[in-house]
A and B are shown apart, each in its own frame.
Chain A
Amino acid sequence: MNIIVCIKQVPDTAEVRINPETNTLIRDGVPSIINPYDTHALEAGLQIKERVGGKVTVITMGPPQAETALREALSMGADDALLLTDKAFAGSDTWATSYTLAKAVEKLGADIILCGKQAIDGDTAQVGPEMAEFLNIPHIAYIRKIEEVKADSIRVQRLMDEGYDIVESSLPVLLTVVKELNEPRLPSLKGKMAAKKAEIKKMGPADLGADENNLGLKGSPTQVKNIFAPEAKKDRKMLEGTPEQQVDRLIQELRRLKCV
């Protein structure tokens, strides 16, 4: 079974803030991590391999420093790693990202492709399904359990708003996973040693046979117009006085609004 796990290196968003005066991101000292959902995808890949045999390859598209994320994945037990890095990839939105990743998956060949539910920087959750479309294979999103893996089919539980669905699919298939699926393992000491020495393959547009018009900024239909801090309400009223007076004022207002 050829398993590919797509991982993304992201800033730890819990620590990203915006400077309200300049409307710019403050990211001094914000560490880079593997997108948390992707570690669950990797764990799922490793477990499938342990169950039915095969090979787990991690791929990422990003700047050269994304190599760190791949080495971490190798130390967790991935067999192989591929870094897609090139000037031409810069500025990709989800369309161009999934096109590029799909090209790489085509090159490598895969039976199961695993992605995180979403990346915590952009929070779009679109790259997985879009990639499946480019590959012309089925996908199942929000997997919370993998029930059965056979040579040519798979059965999983898909999280929905009001519960879950049992879904079957033929292979190859792309799955996006939620955190409930599993508990990612920690890197082993042996894994860490091996990962340090491992060779990380790199590919650019020519290696992928990609159409330049579909890459990076040029290939991206969406643009970020601006970013800003979530804003304060303009019409808020602070209720002054003793607690008694404050509550009286509140009741008055709520009455006026027919909330009480």
Chain B
Amino acid sequence: MRIVVNRDICTGCEECLGSCPFSAIVIKEGKAFITEYCDLCRACLSVCPVGAIEEVEEEGDRKKVEKGRGVWVFAEQRGGKIASVAYELLGAGRRLASELQTELVAVLFGSGESEARELIKWGADKVYLCNEPMLEKFNDEPYAELLSTLIKEHKPEIVLAGATPIGRSFIPRVAARLRTGLTADCTSLEIDKDTKNLLQIRPAFGGNIMATILCPHSRPQMATVRPRVMKRGEYVEGRAGEVIYVKADSIASRTRVTDTIKEVSEVAVNLQEADVIVSGGRGLGDAKGFNLLLELAETLEGAVGASRAAVDAGWISYSHQVGQTGKTVCPKLYIACGISGAVQHLVGMQSSDVIVAINKNPEAPIFNVATYGIVGDLFEIVPLLIKKVKEARGI
């Protein structure tokens, strides 16, 4: 594909110039011209008032692709325990597999059969399991080698992995080796109704924009998926499925993990596991404001989160921070108090089931993602809320 300006239509109005993120549009002889720096992001297409900017297909666009079969999920384990992102991937994978009327397969390295059976209960039709002790600890090369080999052999249509330190480290090697595309850190996955291609939706530019990415001409279509964004699949105790053992012969690694040091703050764990999070921002005014939120959180048996502005102000520690540079959370209920809803905050909490926003400013962007919005002073609303929740619960 190429983007070109139809010189017969272009009026030289310069509307398009500012729309190009790559500064790839210039005016030549009174008409717009797209230079070689065009990144094909299509940002300019809709701005031209006379419709002079067009996409043109090229020969390469029509390459035939060999379709694959099955949706695969890489189920990551840490210390033998399956990471929760694996269940989320199975949830997303199940949906895609039924839309494509194909099977859902999990791949598990360095863990045992009982964990593999667990993946079946969470939705997998089949699990490729390699229980080689060498794979218990994560090393990029053996993981990449083994997964590429399996993919080459079975030719899946789609491969998903968690956008975790593990997934984001070795999956790129697999994609490079297979000469296929990889989309990082997706927050939404859909199947295109017409082409059956995977639409991979992800934030870019620090969450300020969203982009839909396609991998139309090579297979498998690969994506890493942000943890805590997709819903888990359904757990069915007696679900039938097959565990297939795979061997890892002659797999070498030039890296070696000599030690693993655990270093997790209790706060962070609580935050990610809580059903209810009460979060505060600059609107709290000072560190004391958090006492109020703590009380509400305790009443609701939840945890306390914070915006970066509140953390930067030193009112609460960094381990409470929610957002792009903090934690991604997905509780049943998220109550945002005095948070404006900057996009960097939203990316960390917008997939919560129910979002309540309390803010003085009716224009605050937090209301765009809220299920329930209360325009008001949090110092008035929150104490009332505490009182009424206590009454409701008979405390």
Report if A250-B43 is in contact (Cβ < 8 Å); known contacts: A124-B185, A238-B367: no
Alpha-carbon distance A158/B216, docked complex (angstroms): 34
Q: In this complex, which of A17, A27, A87, A253 has the most chain B Cβ atoms within 10 angstroms of its Cβ?
A: A27
Judging by beta carbons under 8 Å apart, are B209 and A247 in contact?
no
Judging by beta carbons under 8 Å apart, are B169 and A142 in contact?
yes
Report 8 cross-chain contacts, Cβ distance below 8 Å, ordered by A residue: A23-B46, A95-B179, A168-B256, A221-B215, A223-B213, A226-B212, A238-B375, A243-B377
Interface stretch among B88-96, B239-247, B260-268, B283-291? B260-268
Determine the chain B residues whose CB is within 8 A of the CB of A17 once the complex forms. 208
Q: Of A23, A87, A123, A246, which is within 8 A of B203 by CB?
A: A123
Q: Of A121, A124, A251, which is within 8 A of B184 by CB?
A: A124
Determine the chain B residues whose CB is within 8 A of the CB of A170 once the complex forms. 254
Judging by beta carbons under 8 Å apart, are B368 and A233 in contact?
yes
A28 at the interface (CB under 8 A from B): yes
A183 at the interface (CB under 8 A from B): no
Interface residues of A, Cβ cutoff 8 Å to B:
11, 13-14, 16-18, 22-28, 63, 87, 90-91, 93-95, 98-99, 120-130, 132-134, 137-142, 155, 158-170, 173, 217-218, 220-233, 235-239, 243-244, 246-251, 253-255, 257, 259-260
Judging by beta carbons under 8 Å apart, are B371 and A24 in contact?
no
Chain B contacts with A in 306-327, Cβ cutoff 8 A: none
Determine the chain A residues whose CB is within 8 A of the CB of B209 once the complex forms. 16, 18, 25, 227-230
Alpha-carbon distance A224/B214, docked complex (angstroms): 6
Report the count of interface residues on B (CB-CB < 8 A): 102
Judging by beta carbons under 8 Å apart, are B371 and A237 in contact?
yes
Judging by beta carbons under 8 Å apart, are B332 and A259 in contact?
yes
Judging by beta carbons under 8 Å apart, are A260 and B389 in contact?
yes
Judging by beta carbons under 8 Å apart, are B367 and A95 in contact?
no
Alpha-carbon distance A96/B219, docked complex (angstroms): 16
Judging by beta carbons under 8 Å apart, are A141 and B169 in contact?
yes
Judging by beta carbons under 8 Å apart, are A227 and B389 in contact?
no
Interface stretch among B33-41, B104-112, B121-129, B151-159? B33-41
Determine the chain B residues whose CB is within 8 A of the CB of A173 once the complex forms. 254-255
Q: Of B175, B353, B393, which is within 8 A of A260 by CB?
A: B393
Determine the chain A residues whose CB is within 8 A of the CB of B176 once the complex forms. 95, 98-99, 129-130, 133-134
Chain A contact residues, majority secondary structure: mixed
Report if A162-B262 is in contact (Cβ < 8 Å); known contacts: A223-B1, A224-B213, A239-B372: yes
Judging by beta carbons under 8 Å apart, are A221 and B40 in contact?
no
Chain B contacts with A in 136-150, Cβ cutoff 8 A: 137-138, 140-141, 144
Judging by beta carbons under 8 Å apart, are B172 and A133 in contact?
yes
Determine the chain A residues whose CB is within 8 A of the CB of B255 once the complex forms. 138, 140, 167-169, 173
Determine the chain A residues whose CB is within 8 A of the CB of B68 once the complex forms. none
Alpha-carbon distance A231/B369, docked complex (angstroms): 8
Judging by beta carbons under 8 Å apart, are A18 and B208 in contact?
yes
Chain B contacts with A in 218-274, Cβ cutoff 8 A: 218, 253-264
Alpha-carbon distance A194/B350, docked complex (angstroms): 48
Alpha-carbon distance A226/B347, docked complex (angstroms): 19
Alpha-carbon distance A235/B217, docked complex (angstroms): 37
Apart from A132-B173, A140-B255, A223-B215, what are 9 other A-B pairs with CB-CB below 8 Å?
Answer: A24-B19, A124-B185, A141-B140, A221-B218, A222-B183, A223-B1, A223-B216, A236-B369, A260-B389
Contact with A along B1-45 (1 / 0, CB 8 A): 100000000000000001101100000000000001111111110
Q: Of A28, A140, A259, which is within 8 A of B333 by CB?
A: A259
Report if A230-B210 is in contact (Cβ < 8 Å); known contacts: A90-B37, A257-B354: yes
Counting from the closest, the 7 A-B pairs by CB-CB distance are: A221-B181, A222-B181, A163-B263, A232-B368, A87-B36, A129-B172, A133-B176
In the complex, the chain B residue whose C-beta lies closest to that of A121 is: B205
Judging by beta carbons under 8 Å apart, are B388 and A248 in contact?
yes
Determine the chain A residues whose CB is within 8 A of the CB of B389 once the complex forms. 251, 260
Alpha-carbon distance A14/B179, docked complex (angstroms): 33
Q: Of A27, A122, A133, A222, which is within 8 A of B173 by CB?
A: A133
Q: Of A63, A161, A249, which is within 8 A of B164 by CB?
A: A161
Contact with A along B366-388 (1 / 0, CB 8 A): 01111111111100110011001
Alpha-carbon distance A160/B354, docked complex (angstroms): 30
Judging by beta carbons under 8 Å apart, are B39 and A223 in contact?
no
Judging by beta carbons under 8 Å apart, are A162 and B264 in contact?
yes
Q: Of A22, A223, A229, A250, which is within 8 A of B356 by CB?
A: A250
Q: Of A25, A134, A142, A218, which is within 8 A of B43 by CB?
A: A25
Q: Of B41, B204, B380, which is within 8 A of A243 by CB?
A: B380
Report if A165-B261 is in contact (Cβ < 8 Å); known contacts: A23-B46, A63-B37: yes
Judging by beta carbons under 8 Å apart, are B182 and A222 in contact?
yes
Judging by beta carbons under 8 Å apart, are B370 and A233 in contact?
yes
Judging by beta carbons under 8 Å apart, are B184 and A161 in contact?
no
Contact with A along B167-194 (1 / 0, CB 8 A): 0111011011101111111000000000
Judging by beta carbons under 8 Å apart, are A141 and B44 in contact?
no
Judging by beta carbons under 8 Å apart, are B179 and A141 in contact?
no
Judging by beta carbons under 8 Å apart, are B206 and A16 in contact?
yes
Judging by beta carbons under 8 Å apart, are B18 and A27 in contact?
yes
Q: Of A99, A225, A248, which is within 8 A of B214 by CB?
A: A225
In the complex, the chain B residue whose C-beta lies closest to that of A221 is: B181
Judging by beta carbons under 8 Å apart, are B40 and A24 in contact?
no
Judging by beta carbons under 8 Å apart, are B388 and A247 in contact?
yes
